[in-house]
Structure 1
Amino acid sequence: MRDIFRQSKMWHTPSKLKDNYEVVIIGGGSHGLATAYYLTKHHGIKDICILEKNYIGAGASGRNTTILRSNYKTPEGARFYDASVKLYENLSKDLQFNLMFSQRGHLTLGHTDRAMFVMHERAEVNRLVGIDTKVVDADEVQRMVPAMQVTDEAEYPIMGALYHPPGGIIRHDAVVWGYARGADRGGAEIHPNSEVTAIHKDGDKVTGVTVNGNQRVNGQTVLSATAGWSSILSEMAGFELPITTHILQAFVTEPVKPILDKVIVSSQMHVYVSQTDRGEFLIGSEIEPWTTYRMNGTLNFLQESTRHALELFPQLERARMLRSWAGLCDLSPDYSPILGKTEVENFLVSTGWGTYGFKAAPIVGVTLAELIATGKTPDLIKPFEVERFYTDELVSELGAAAVSH
């Protein structure tokens, strides 16, 4: 009888690592787990180990702010993220796990004539690639979000917004758990508390890794899917990635009455706001300008993000903060990801995501699984290969991804 109420584990952890695997994935977040899941599901590759130095979902996948969208500035970015949102729409059914996806709509506020001009430009780019995005005026914004203060007399008057109906929020922990369970059921091995401390090469080819300083694990293909730690791993592999690592902070209030059923973003105010199904207000800001690996919060973030959130929603004045946190963001020079092959044979990367990697998890998994299985780079991710920085073929999302949510 005592076992009736004991929760079963969603995935199991083997007692020890094998010496050899077909695929070694570094990073137990949404990208690494999704890649393993689609390798097992689409390509029948099961000899996979996922190495996570902490617990599963301990990094950026468990610290993001759950927002999904695809209304990016470049055609390459818009197509890529649109494919990901479409996968998210059916992911609960695919994983047989409730991910609590709420496609409530995403509003990027415009406060100046220049901002509104750029929004019209983005809306046209989105329209040309088939993405549902349009510019709405201040009256329409007020109609959509009656609780928000829309006035010409504010420090940042709201002149209109870029409205993206497919955008929304999803439970990030559930995405991680669902992919982990799916990968495990497909035959992949998940190893938490397994830190990669060295990467081994034979000439210009990666052959394996050392785990926790004492165990050699060989792999025919090694994928680095470690967000802010990617530059450290690439250095182990003998080359440099054009990546800087920053922190992103957020906090939630105590649960309050439901008043917001949209995602609100303001790049000029450096704030974004959404309300969870439990009633908590989730409030965040842009990445901090300094580079660091320390995930410490700052008082300045709390003061500034609170001030701007209250300008939009003054009724939160008496709401109490429940908790705050920070996570690491890996930022590329053009604010677009770095995906796929590198100058080192058999060593693949998923990095450079800034604050928008969680949005891309499903399509990253699908495309990297295809690359690993076939050796051919899918067309959808060719624009994001690292060699673009040497051929001056940048995919600049600066402006669409600065506060980015």
Structure 2
Amino acid sequence: MPWRLLRFVTSGKHPEPQMFTHHDGLKKVYDAVIIGAGGHGLAAAYYLARDHGMTNVCVLEKGYIGGGNTGRNTTIIRSNYITPEGVQFYDTSVKLWQDLSQDFDLNLFYATRGHYTLAHTDAALRTMRWRAEVNKHCGVESEVVGPEELRREIPMMDMSCGGHAPIIGALYHAPGAIARHDAVAWGYGRGADQRGVQIHQQTEVLGIEVTAGRVSGVRTSRGFIATSKVLCAVAGSTPRILDMIGVRSPIYIHPLQAMVSEPMKPWLDPILVSGSLHVYISQSARGELVLGASLDPYELHSTRSTLDFTEGLAAHMLELFPFLSHVKIVRQWAGMADMTPDFAPIMGKTPIEGFYLDAGWGTWGFKATPVSGKTMAHTMVTDTPHPLITGFSLDRFRNYALTGEKGAASVGH
């Protein structure tokens, strides 16, 4: 048993402070209320307190910290998107990621691995070239590579994919990385907590009070809170919260499943994605293979797992890596992906004054955690959308000004 853990076992008092402060009750009034204690909600609280000095903030979570999509993703971090708005937004996030462990004084296991998006057809390869040019124009490192480089860098991969979908090239994105998802939520939560933000778990939002077109309070399972600013950052529960204020959105919810293998000795350094096979794979710091696929093809507000997903994903993985046939799967899970028609998020103001929305993240929300928190904190304080999120406004759907990230979502469709 490690000595640090043994100290807790043998001591009558905790030799180190708790990660989060326990609060007996809610205050009657807060300057801002954030619904959702996942990565995005806690990041917004952290930057509100750290960058803007707004500490009379309450974060409400009906479950537990990081128990939603933050703890149900496959931890891939990248910025190789297809629109200038998306590339600049996610590149800012990647740069923020690189300093987070130091900011939090907490090891996030952030590791730059490189990211390959495999192309199996001429059409896919054309899209990779398009993405590479957009990335380079925005100062992001991406390039198209051929089969020779793939054979050299990933010699254990079957380039023919069992003869079903031969690999003819890939988009290589050197900054591609992974991190420990739960530690991200803990780091942002602890940082906000230390600055005076109150985090209330097991506290469900039952209604939102609107007076003369402006937010005036939040009704919860533990009482009423008066506030003039509310941020909704609840991923797959977004439609339910929006119904409380009578706001419609184009968001629809699909299950997104993933699974991990038993630990293995390290053999896969880069992150691999195949849009044609609808799979992605990386190896964690503990040696587990983290595996994912596309959305389930039906709308469902549920986080259950299915055998059909496991069988389909395993079959495609064996096309790429036949030697994995004897590797055991140890667990699988699902999240609720809040999808938009143009595969870009919805961020910023809404028709209700004082109500802000951070939603529509689909399969790409984890990588945006730092930048979404920073830009939404700015938006809440100034009541003006941050320049990085002007292309993600809710009214773009009414104005037919879609952002169009579908070609960069890889396996999210």
Establish whether TM, by shorter chain, passes 0.5. Answer: yes
Contact 2:273 2:410 in 1 (8 A): no
- The answer for unaligned runs of 5 or more in structure 1 is none
Quick check: 1:229 aligned with 2:232?
A: no
Q: Distance in 1 between matches of 2:47 and 2:372?
A: 10
Aligned equivalents of 1:105 and 1:152: distance in 2?
21
Residues matched between the structures, number: 404
* Equivalent position of 1:205 in the other structure: 214
Name the TM-score, length of structure 1 as normaliser. 0.97
Shift of 1:3: 3.2
1:356 alignment partner in structure 2: 364
- Residue by residue over 1:17-39, the C-alpha shift from the partner in whole angstroms, topping out at 9 and shown as x without a partner, is 01110000000000000000001
In the TM superposition, what are the counterparts of 1:64-143 in structure 2 within 5 Å? 64-143=73-152
Residue 36 of structure 1 corresponds to 45
The one-letter code sitting in structure 2 at the alignment partner of 1:331 is M
Structure 1 residues 28, 153: closer, same or farther in 2, change over 3 A?
Answer: closer
- Aligned to 1:234, the other structure's residue is in SS state helix
Corresponding position of 2:394 = 386
SS at match of 1:197: strand
- For residues 1-400 of structure 1, what are the structure 2 equivalents within 5 Å? 2-3=11-12, 8-151=17-160, 154-212=163-221, 215-400=223-408
Between the aligned partners of 1:152 and 1:403, the Cα distance in structure 2 is: 17
2:7 alignment partner in structure 1: none
Partners in 2 of 1:90 and 1:149 — Cα distance? 36
Q: Tell me, in whole angstroms, the C-alpha distance in 1 between the residues paired with 2:334 and 2:311.
A: 15
Mapped to 2, the partners of 1:197 and 1:375 lie a distance apart of: 25
Partners of 2:159 and 2:320 within 8 A in 1: yes
Distance 1:228 1:177 in 2: 21
Change (3 A) 1:134 1:18: same
Cα 1:152/1:292, change in 2 over 3 Å: closer
Write out the 4+ residue segments of structure 1 that deviate beyond 4 Å after TM superposition.
4-7
Aligned-partner Cα distance in 2 for 1:149–1:8: 50
| Secondary structure of the structure 1 residue equivalent to 2:407 | coil
Which one-letter code corresponds to 1:249 in the other structure?
Answer: Q
3-state DSSP of counterpart to 2:370: helix
Q: 1:216 to 1:161 in 2, by over 3 A?
A: same
Secondary structure of 1:100 counterpart:
coil
Measured after TM superposition, the shift of residue 152 of structure 1 is 7.5
Query: Residues of 2 paired with 1:338 and 1:309: CA distance?
Result: 33
Matched residue type, 2:284: T
- Secondary structure of 1:252's counterpart equals strand
CA distance in 2, matches of 1:238, 1:391: 20
> Which region of structure 1 is more displaced relative to structure 2, 315-324 or 370-379?
370-379
Q: Is the 8 A contact 2:252 2:338 kept in 1?
A: yes
Cα distance between partner residues in 1 of 2:125 and 2:197: 48
Question: Which amino acid in the other structure matches residue 164 of structure 1?
Answer: H
1:100-142 C-alpha deviation (Å, 9 max, x unpaired): 1011100000001111111001100111011000000011012
Q: Secondary structure at the match of 2:30?
A: strand
Q: SS of 2:294's equivalent?
A: coil
The more displaced of 165-174 and 137-146 is 137-146
How has the CA–CA distance of structure 1 residues 318 and 44 changed in structure 2, closer, same or farther, with 3 Å as cutoff? same
Distance in 1 separating the partners of 2:14 and 2:228: 42
Deviations 1:246-288 (A, max 9, x none): 1100111101121100100001101101111111111110111
Q: What are the ranges of 5 or more consecutive residues in structure 2 without an aligned counterpart?
A: 1-9
CA deviation map 1:119-171 (0-9, x unaligned): 00110011101100000001101211122122376211011110000001100
Other structure's SS at 2:193 match:
helix
Return the alpha-carbon distance in structure 2 between the equivalents of residues 78 and 280 of structure 1: 29
Per-residue Cα deviation, 1:84-109 (whole angstroms, up to 9, x for no partner): 01100111111111111011100000
In structure 2, the residue corresponding to 1:220 is in which secondary structure?
coil
Using the TM superposition, give the Cα deviation of residue 11 of structure 1 relative to its aligned residue in structure 2, in angstroms: 1.0
Identity among equivalent pairs (%): 46
**Inter-partner Cα distance in structure 2 for 1:152 and 1:250:** 21
Report the TM-score, using the length of structure 2 for normalisation. 0.96
